[in-house]
Amino acid sequence: MLENDRSRSATHQSYAVLRDRILNGELPGGTKIVEEKIASELGFSRTPIRESIRKLEYEGLIINKRVVKPTEKDLRNNFQMRILLEGYAAQCAASFLREQDLQALYECVEIGRKGTNEEIMDANERFHEIIVRASNNAVMIDTIDRMQSLIYLFRKTVVLNQRPHLIDEHEQIYEAIKARNGEKAADLMKSHLQADLDFCLHIIG
């Protein structure tokens, strides 16, 4: 651990706490966020709280001083973006991914089959992250990163654990990238994300 919380700024600390509370449902969608209230609760002044709220607004987790309540349409919008961007990233991965990253990708698949629930969750995230990085496009990486929290939030409310075939699909994508077949990798990634979206939508029915 490089830095403990005391060493970080009040802004950073309060941001991390607030974000956490929103993502784990402690501050459910629709909750009014009042600067003074949060400030006294966390033991900081309003100034750093204000700043972390702005950050969360930027991330889409707070809108109009309330915790966001993502709609089905928000979910669709975010996934549509991911389909476009990660489809492209998968194509890049097929062309440019190094042996080392390819191996890391395979490890994610393996953990997906054998790991504990927590490990699986992490490995799935990492799988996508490796591919997104292969785009070598900082704007893209950043954009997808920002979208994650909203998607995560939605997932939480859906209590999504494990979708059937998810790991199989990851493995197919991995195989296409390994075979340097960019078009196939992109197509597989797109349908993988589409299936993910459909599963989410199905559950909230």
Partner DNA sequence: TTTTTAATTTTTGTATACATTTTTAATAAA
Partner DNA sequence: TTTATTAAAAATGTATACAAAAATTAAAAA
Q: Which is nearer to a copy of itself, 15 or 108 (CB)?
A: 15
**Which of these segments, 27-35, 134-142, 163-171, 175-183, binds DNA (CB under 7 A)?**
27-35
- Which residue, 18 or 105, has its beta carbon nearer to DNA? 18
Structure tokens at 56: 């969360």
Partner in contact with 46, chosen from DNA, a copy of itself, none, beta carbon below 5 to 8 Å by kind: DNA
Number of residues located near a copy of itself, criterion CB under 8 A: 18
Q: Shortest approach of DNA to residue 42 CB, angstroms?
A: 9
Hey, what are 65's tokens? 């001083």
Give the one entry of a copy of itself, DNA, none that residue 66 binds, where binding means its C-beta sits below a cut-off of 5 to 8 angstroms depending on kind.
none
Task: Tell whether residue 88 is a contact of a copy of itself (CB under 8 A).
Answer: yes
Of positions 2, 6, 116, 139, contacts a copy of itself by CB under 8 A: 139
Site for DNA in 28-47 (CB under 7 A): 33-37, 44-47
Buried b (16+ CB within 10 A) or exposed e, 55-82: bbeebbbbeeeebbebeeebbeebbeeb
